[in-house]
Amino acid sequence: MRYLPKSQSDRDAMLGDIGVKSVDDLFAAIPAEYRLTRDLSIPRSYAESEIVQFFRDRAAENGQGYVTFLGAGAYSHYRPVVIDSLISRGEFFTAYTPYQPEIAQGTLQAIFEFQSMICELTGMDVANASMYDGSTGAAEGLMMAVRVTGRHKSVIAATVHPEYREVVTTYARHQGMPLSTVGYLKNGRVDLEALDKAVDNETAGVLIQSPNFFGVIEDIAAVADLVHKKGALLVVSIAEAVSLGIVKPPAEADIVSLEAQSFGVPLGFGGPYCGVMATREKFIRQIPGRLAGETVDRDGKRGFVLTLSTREQHIRREKATSNICTNQALVALMCNIFMTIYGKQGLKELAQQNLAKAHYAAEQFKKSGASLVFEGAPIFNEFVIRTKTYPRAINDRLLEQKIIGGFPLKRFYPELENASVWCCTETTTKASIDAAAKEVAR
């Protein structure tokens, strides 16, 4: 086996040193009746060339070279080559959690920079080193609101990604966290009146998403005002991180749960992605996950360590803020490098292109006879259209032109007949928008 660095004579010498005759003697602790006396029934060992061919074949079955108008929580942005070049350094990807800071300053400094940039972009005071993803981050955001307020109930906008809501439901069910959902208005924003009724003095947290699942930007200040008047916390989910380049950050929120996949992370059939949680300074001891902090060594030299770990499971066990241990560190590094590459000017320009493409597409689709389902509130790079025919039929025709159409909403919103949410990014060409517009009209 090519990954094993021992010859048979090495093994024999080691067994001799240990004082056993065969390696099976080392497994004597396992009762004989449970030991496997046959080979595992899995395929034979493959050569590297065969493994590569196998996965090339799978990739081909998956379809290649498609243009996509899918967003809905996973966004197709260009990934600068530098990202993979840097994260492929063994020093980064074959290291573990930086528990020994003297030999992990690279990882620690990168996390510190990541936390700093997330704070800049979200308008929060502190950010953690990462969460699994946006959906679990949203659930942990509401759990954090419960800890901070000492209350139990939570309210979720129906405009939050439906799969995020499903995950929150799974997490909340057995933690004594009753959930309720509030609907949306004709402009696609959360219904503030309904929200006002749903939030009471037992509400710990309110979860909204902006831009929301329909692509509509919520009025964060108005929601925050309402939520804070009732003494609850506002948790804002952001699924499309590139929006932060041009959309005002949710600075009025108490907790921001960001899915940073848009920052240079491959679509990868849904993961690994990069959740991250940010909050206000005063809630710092209730945030889940790892945190890197600045300190000095014995000679006063600047260095970084994992800190405030008394919040975490390896110290606090059942009283920890979360059971999270492994996070998404290498993916956070991708995001970090992406944010560094685009920086202060680039993120803005990038977001502007997304905005322009989405508005162009919405216009073209409208001209072709589709209608915009939600009007009157700003959107970023996604929008919902209603077509005359079933969206799947349109998508089937588009697929023949190697175009993947928008996401049909009926599965999650039965009331939205013939509606689908479309996404345009900087990678969406005018030509593909025009081609899609033609089919949307039919």
Partner 1 sequence: MNSKIKKAETHLSQNEGLIFEKSSPGKKAYKLPPLDVPEVDAKQLLGDAIREDLGHMPEVSEIEIIRHFTRISTWNYAVDHGMYPLGSCTMKYNARVNEYVSRLSGLADAHPYQPTRISQGALRIMKMLSDQLIEITGMDCITLQPAAGAHGELTGILLVRAYLESQGNPRKKILVPDSAHGTNPATAAMSGYAVENIRSNAAGMVDIAALEAQVNEDVAALMLTNPNTLGVFEQEIHKIADVLHAKGALLYMDGANMNALVGKVRPGDFGADVMHLNLHKTFSTPHGGGGPGSGPVACKKILEPFLPTPVIITKPDGTLGLDYDRPQSIGRVRMFYGNFGMFVRALAYIMANGPEGLRLTTEDAVLNANYIRKHLQGLYELPFDTPTMHEVVFSDKIQTKKGIKTGDIAKRLIDYGFHPYTVSFPLVVPGALMIEPTESESKEELDLFIDAMKQIATEAESTPEVVTQAPHRTRISRLDETAAARKPVLRWKPGK
Positions 117 through 176 that interact with partner 1 (CB under 8 A): 117, 119-121, 125-127, 129-130, 132-136, 161, 163-164, 166-167, 169-171, 173-176
Report the C-alpha gap between 139 and 103 in whole angstroms.
34
Binding to partner 1, residues 11-70 (CB under 8 A): 11, 13-15, 17-20, 23, 26-31, 34-36, 39-46, 48, 50-52, 54-64, 66, 68, 70
Count of CA atoms in the C-beta half-sphere (13 A) of 419: 20
- Please give the structure tokens belonging to residue 107: 């990882």
Enumerate residues 254-283 that contact partner 1 by CB under 8 A.
266-272
Binds partner 1 by CB under 8 A, chosen from 297, 367, 369, 442: 297
Contact present, 214 and 421 (Cβ < 8 Å) = yes
Select 27 or 180, whichever has its Cβ closest to partner 1. Answer: 27
User: Based on CB atoms, which residue is closest to partner 1, 200 or 259?
Assistant: 259
User: Residues 6 or more apart from 18 whose CB is under 8 A from it?
Assistant: 26
State the minimum distance, in angstroms, from the CB of residue 142 to partner 1.
Answer: 13
- In whole angstroms, the minimum distance from the beta carbon of 414 to partner 1 comes to 14
| Shortest reach from residue 394's CB to partner 1, in Å | 12
Backbone angles phi, psi at 127, to 5 degrees: -135, 150
Residue 386 CB, nearest distance to partner 1 (Å)? 19
CA 364 → CA 34, 96, 227, 385, 437, distances in Å? 66, 49, 38, 11, 6
Cβ at position 199, least distance to partner 1 in Å: 23
Based on the shown chain and the rule CB under 8 A, indicate whether residue 389 belongs to the binding site for partner 1: no
User: Is the CB of residue 153 less than 8 Å from the CB of residue 203?
Assistant: yes
Size of the site for partner 1 (CB under 8 A): 195
Q: Which CB atom, from 6 or from 367, has the smaller least distance to partner 1?
A: 6
Burial zone of 100 (CB within 10 Å; 0-12 exposed, 13-18 middle, 19+ buried): exposed
Where in 177-216 is the site for partner 1 (CB under 8 A)? none
Residue with tokens 């509509």: 216
Applying CB under 8 A, among 4, 201, 400, 415 the residue interacting with partner 1 is 4
- Span from 91-99, 152-160, 178-186, 196-204 in contact with partner 1 (CB under 8 A): 91-99
Which of 301, 400, 414, 415 touches partner 1 (CB under 8 A)? 301
14 or 417: CB nearest partner 1: 14
SS3 424: coil
Query: Alpha-carbon torsion 85, 88, 93, 94, what sign?
Result: negative
CA angle (196 as vertex; 194, 198 as ends), nearest 5: 70
Binders of partner 1 in range 322-341 (CB under 8 A): 322-331, 333, 337, 339-341
In whole angstroms, the minimum distance from the beta carbon of 138 to partner 1 comes to 9
Does residue 245 belong to the site contacting partner 1 (CB under 8 A)? yes
Count of Cβ atoms closer than 10 Å to residue 427 Cβ:
16
Alpha-carbon gap, residue 96 to 330, rounded angstroms: 10
- Number of Cβ within 10 Å of residue 420's Cβ equals 27
Q: Is 343 in the site for partner 1 (CB under 8 A)?
A: yes
d(CA 394, CA 386): 12
Residues 401 to 420 in contact with partner 1, rule: CB under 8 A: 404, 407
Residue of 179, 185, 192, 246 interacting with partner 1 (CB under 8 A) = 246
